[in-house]
Structure 1
Amino acid sequence: MTKTRVILIERYKKVPKYGKYIKISKKVKAHDEEGKYREGDRVEIQEVSPMSRDKRWKIIRLIERPLVADEVLTVTAEVPAIGEEKA
Structure 2
Amino acid sequence: MSETPITPARSHRKERTGEVISNKMTKTIVVRVERRFRHPQFKKVVTQFHKLYAHDEKSEAKVGDRVLIQETRPLSKLKSWRLVEVVEHNKDAEPVAV
Alignment counterpart, residue 65 of structure 1, candidates 89, 92, 97? 89
Superposition TM-score, scaled by structure 1 size: 0.74
Q: Distance in 2 between matches of 1:52 and 1:63?
A: 25
**Superposition CA RMSD, Å:** 1.2
2:72 alignment partner, one of 48, 52, 62 = 48
- Unaligned stretches of 5+ residues in structure 2: 1-24, 94-98
Three-state SS of the structure 2 residue aligned to 1:68 is: coil
Q: Is residue 2:49 matched to residue 1:25?
A: yes
1:11-22 alignment to 2 at 5 Å? Answer: 11-22=35-46
Partner of 1:76: none
Give the deviation of 1:66 after TM superposition.
2.1
| Larger RCO (CA within 8 A; separation ≥ 6) | 2
Amino acid at match of 2:34: E
Which whole-Å CA distance do the structure 1 matches of 2:90 and 2:77 have between them? Answer: 31
5+ long unaligned stretches in structure 1: 70-87
Structure 1 runs (4+) deviating above 2 angstroms are none
Hey, what's the Cα distance between the residues in 2 that align with 1:66 and 1:41? 5
Percent of aligned positions that are identical: 39
The residue aligned with 2:96 is: none
Which entry has the higher C-alpha Rg, 1 or 2? Answer: 1
Corresponding residue for residue 8 of structure 1: 32
